[in-house]
Amino acid sequence: MAALGTSSCLVGPVPFKDVTKDHEDGQTVVSPTAEHADILSTLPSIAAGPDLQLRQYQGVWLSAYMVAGMISVQRRFMSRPGDVILASPPKCGTTWLKALAFATMARTTYPPSDADHPLRRLNPHERVPFMENQFSAGQGAKLEALPSPRLLHTHMHYSMLPPSLAGCCKMVYVCREPKDMLVSMWHFFKSAGLNLPFPDLFELACHGQNPYGPIWDHVLGYWAASTARPERVMFLRYEEMLADPVSTVRQLGRFLGVPFTAADEAAGSPVDIAEMCSIDALRSLDANKTGINGSFIKFGHQAFFRKGVVGDWVNHMTPEMARRFDAIVDDKLRGSGLAFTLVRALACQEPDASSLPACV
């Protein structure tokens, strides 16, 4: 089993919470929302229901709290060689990707068979920090405490990333069929007590005004980056991960420079990692049944593990709503080489599909 005291021997990332647990309090210097109040006050604003006000920053709709964190990331984040950035729109499999990437990168230090594996005692968000959220809380300096190689996460659009980060880090991006993302987002907000009726969220999304929207801009930014620099940006789709999680683990290993060897394969390492990170395995852990995540809106850890299927939109959208949203998304993606058409067709045949072929 790995001992944290011997950090010079560690290979791969260490859990964020293990590094920062002795420094939980007292690091907030100036509230970023106060620091950036002059910028925030000039931004266009809309109400996303009675509980959530969104501002448009650099073309993206966000809470003022997150805008402040992103401005701080843009101004202060210091990237390091070896940093790995996980990126995603919200509700597209971030938690799962955090678990898989951590387990893959850190497997020498923390073999998946380890009873005290960080995945078994910490929620994935406690292991891999959410960069702009750390900065929003005035705790961006904590990211400096992590030894290299750091594994970090952002929901920022590609166009918003500080140049040093986009230029030098490896990035793994995950996206999801947008209707399923929207349904997942609605359930997530509901779990935190936010009053945002689904038809309202849907209408906002059609106009690109859902939180972190427009969704098509989010996806297209990373899609373009991954096609221009595939050695730097890996583009994953939630549906493909569900169809073959073991292949995803192998792909991650290759991309991140820690490929699985013949000996790893013989020992069953990719299969063990995929099983340890399955939604059933994760949701059964105490670390994911209790606890709270988030500083602006508080989400219970269990809210990150809901259904984990393809095609749940069918339980929340009429066929007419689905047609309208699909048409908008198709129009925005036209000519990019990226589409969700095949995922949609397959999800209609088999909503809980776990056997989708690779698709674009």
90 is a site residue for ligand A3P (CB under 6 A): yes
Instruction: Give the interface size with ligand A3P as a residue count (CB under 6 A).
Output: 21
Q: Region of 358 please: left (phi>0), alpha (psi -120 to 50) or beta.
A: beta
- Please list the residues that pair with 60 across neighbouring strands: 57
Among 12, 15, 69, 93, binds ligand A3P (CB under 6 A): 93
Question: Least distance in Å: CB of 278 to ligand A3P?
Answer: 6
List all residues 6 or more positions away from 56 whose beta carbon is below 8 Å from its beta carbon.
Answer: 43, 44, 45, 46, 62
Least Å from the CB of residue 92 to ligand A3P: 5
Q: How far is the CB of 211 from ligand A3P (least distance, A)?
A: 12
Least distance (Å) between residue 300 CB and ligand A3P = 12
* Separation of alpha carbons 16 and 19, rounded Å: 5
What's the farthest any 2 CA atoms get from each other in the chain?
A: 58
Q: Are 258 and 273 in contact (CB under 8 A)?
A: no
3-state SS, residue 34: helix
Q: Is 155 a catalytic residue?
A: yes
The helix (run of H) or strand (run of E) holding residue 345 is: helix 341-349
The answer to whether 201 contacts ligand A3P (rule: CB under 6 A) is no
Q: Within 13 Å, how many C-alpha atoms sit on residue 34's CB side?
A: 6
What minimum distance in Å lies between the beta carbon of 155 and ligand A3P? 9
Q: What is the DSSP letter of 239?
A: H
Determine the Cα–Cα distance for residues 229 and 141; give it in Å rounded to an integer: 30
Q: How far is the CB of 274 from ligand A3P (least distance, A)?
A: 9
Convert residues 102-141 into a mask of x (bound to ligand A3P by CB under 6 A) and - (unbound).
----------------------------------------
Candidates 86-94, 102-110, 160-168, 262-270; binding stretch for ligand A3P (CB under 6 A): 86-94
- Radius of gyration of the chain measured on its C-alpha atoms: 20
From the list 164-172, 301-309, 319-327, 337-345, the region that binds ligand A3P by CB under 6 A is 301-309
Catalytic pick among 153, 155, 157, 218: 155
Contact track, ligand A3P, 152-191, x by CB under 6 A = ----------------------------x---x--x----
Class of residue 133 by CB neighbours under 10 A (exposed 0-12, middle 13-18, buried 19+): buried
- Do 196 and 205 meet the contact criterion of CB atoms below 8 Å apart? no
Which class for 28: exposed (0-12), middle (13-18), buried (19 or more C-beta within 10 A)? exposed
- DSSP letters, 248-263, are HHHHHHHHTT-PPPHH
Is 88 an interacting residue with respect to ligand A3P (CB under 6 A)?
yes
Query: Which of 126/312 has CB closer to ligand A3P?
Result: 312
**Looking only at residues 243 through 272 of this chain, which bind ligand A3P when binding is defined by CB under 6 A?**
none
- Subset of residues 16 to 35 that bind ligand A3P, contact rule: CB under 6 A: none
Q: Which is nearer to ligand A3P, 36 or 110 (CB)?
A: 110
In the list 20, 95, 139, 248, the residue contacting ligand A3P (rule: CB under 6 A) is 95
- Residue 239 touching ligand A3P (CB under 6 A): no
Residue the block writes with tokens 């929003």: 136
According to the binding rule CB under 6 A, does residue 288 interact with ligand A3P?
Answer: no
- Applying CB under 6 A, does 306 fall inside the site for ligand A3P? yes
Binding footprint of ligand A3P on the chain (CB under 6 A): 88, 90-96, 180, 184, 187, 277-279, 282, 304-308, 312
Q: Supply the residues annotated as catalytic.
A: 155
